[in-house]
């Protein structure tokens, strides 16, 4: 090589090496996220993933005590400045609107909205009372609608797009024995996400769905009535259920809150800039999806 050219190449390589050593900005730096059901389980894991990627996060939940404990944990490891809590019942129009108003004051807006607050219920259809049916519809289907409606208002006013993520369920696609109210409510969340993707696209608002299969560890759902009912439906205990779900997956692996958080991170970040109205099933390859 002529001397000058060799020098230029060496100089360029040195500059490149310097760039490689420079700290990279975090993927969600400067973004504001709200996570409903953020007091524990999948919501808290998602909040933590977002914080680790540089976002400011608001945890919204009906459970004040669990919110306080999760806040203490996350604020201790990140900072009080980047993680806040708001007590909110997703079925209340007023509470949801107040949470967004608070967000506007505290952080100046929102970029990422995760609808995740939820319950699970199990009952054969003849044992499903109207109250139980309405409870599922109200917390899951209507709750996701109310949180999304306020999000749309705020995101459209801001005019810089945004990402909305629905944590629905594999049970919204596949029927599960003795859980018609839950499955139907989850199916409606998945369809609502598609409708909102259509409505939001012209404004750059993306709406995607993450469908977890059973996440037994770290989830409050799997410590109460749902666990007892599922265990009796399948004639086993929590350990047996965990093994059953693992065995029916192609990868023979259990799904954890962090696995769902990873998919929620993908849809929140610019890595998924070309995805809307899409679904990621996080189920380690549920065999039933391949045999139906």
Q: Give the residue numbers marked as catalytic.
A: 182
Q: 225-264 mask for ligand NAD (x: CB under 6 A)? A: ----------------------------------------
Composition of the chain by helix, strand, coil, percent to 5: 55, 15, 30
In the complex, the smallest distance separating the C-beta of residue 211 from ligand NAD, rounded to whole angstroms, is 7
Task: Tell me if 211 sits within 8 A of 116, measured CB to CB.
Answer: no
Q: Which two tokens stand for residue 198?
A: 């259509």
212 contacts ligand NAD (rule: CB under 6 A) = yes
Q: Which of 148, 169, 208, 281 binds ligand NAD (CB under 6 A)?
A: 169
- At residue 242's C-alpha, the angle toward residues 254 and 135, to 5°, is 100
37 contacts ligand NAD (rule: CB under 6 A) = yes
Q: Which of 54, 82, 89, 275 binds ligand NAD (CB under 6 A)?
A: 89
In the complex, the smallest distance separating the C-beta of residue 7 from ligand NAD, rounded to whole angstroms, is 58
61 contacts ligand NAD (rule: CB under 6 A) = yes
221 contacts ligand NAD (rule: CB under 6 A) = yes
Q: Enumerate residues 6+ apart whose C-beta is below 8 A from 121.
A: 132, 135, 136, 179, 181, 182, 225, 226
In the complex, the smallest distance separating the C-beta of residue 42 from ligand NAD, rounded to whole angstroms, is 4
Are β-strands 83-87 and 205-212 bridged in parallel, bridged antiparallel, or unpaired? unpaired
Q: Which of 215, 227, 263, 280 binds ligand NAD (CB under 6 A)?
A: 215
Give CA–CA dist 59/139, Å, rounded.
17
Q: 93-132 mask for ligand NAD (x: CB under 6 A)? A: -----------------------xxxxx------------
Helical (H) or strand (E) element with 119: none
Q: Which two tokens stand for residue 146?
A: 């109310």
Of 56-64, 127-135, 191-199, 261-269, the segment contacting ligand NAD by CB under 6 A is: 56-64
Are β-strands 279-282 and 205-212 bridged in parallel, bridged antiparallel, or unpaired? parallel
Q: Which of 121, 105, 93 minimizes the C-alpha distance to 184?
A: 121
Half-sphere exposure of 115 (CA within 13 A, CB side): 33
Which positions lie near ligand NAD, rule CB under 6 A?
Answer: 36-37, 39-43, 61-63, 66, 88-91, 116-120, 139, 143, 167, 169, 212, 214-215, 219-222
């Amino acid at each position: 090589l002529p001397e000058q050219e060799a020098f230029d190449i060496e100089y360029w390589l040195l500059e490149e090496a310097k760039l490689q050593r420079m700290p990279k900005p975090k993927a969600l730096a400067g973004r504001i996220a709200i996570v409903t059901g953020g007091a524990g389980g999948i919501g808290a894991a998602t909040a933590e993933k977002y914080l680790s990627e540089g976002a400011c996060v608001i945890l919204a939940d009906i459970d004040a005590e669990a919110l306080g404990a999760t806040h203490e944990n996350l604020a201790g490891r990140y900072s009080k400045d980047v993680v806040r809590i708001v007590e909110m019942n997703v079925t209340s129009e007023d509470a949801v609107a107040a949470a967004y108003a608070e967000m506007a004051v505290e952080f100046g807006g929102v970029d990422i909205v995760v609808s995740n607050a939820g319950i699970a219920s199990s009952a054969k259809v003849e044992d499903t009372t109207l109250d139980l049916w309405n409870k599922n519809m109200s917390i899951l289907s209507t709750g996701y609608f109310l949180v999304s409606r306020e999000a749309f208002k705020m995101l459209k006013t801001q005019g810089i797009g945004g990402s909305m993520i629905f944590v629905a369920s594999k049970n919204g696609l596949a029927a599960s024995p003795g859980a018609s109210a839950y499955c139907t409510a989850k199916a409606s969340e998945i369809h609502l996400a598609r409708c909102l993707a259509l409505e939001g696209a012209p404004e750059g608002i993306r709406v995607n769905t993450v469908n977890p299969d059973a996440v037994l560890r770290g989830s409050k759902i799997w410590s109460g009535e749902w666990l007892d009912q599922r265990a009796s439906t399948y004639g086993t205990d929590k350990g047996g259920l965990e093994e059953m779900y693992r065995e029916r997956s192609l990868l023979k692996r259990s799904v954890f809150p962090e696995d769902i958080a990873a998919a929620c991170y993908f849809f929140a970040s610019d890595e998924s800039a070309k995805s809307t109205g899409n679904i990621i099933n996080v189920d380690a390859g549920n065999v039933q999806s391949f045999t139906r």
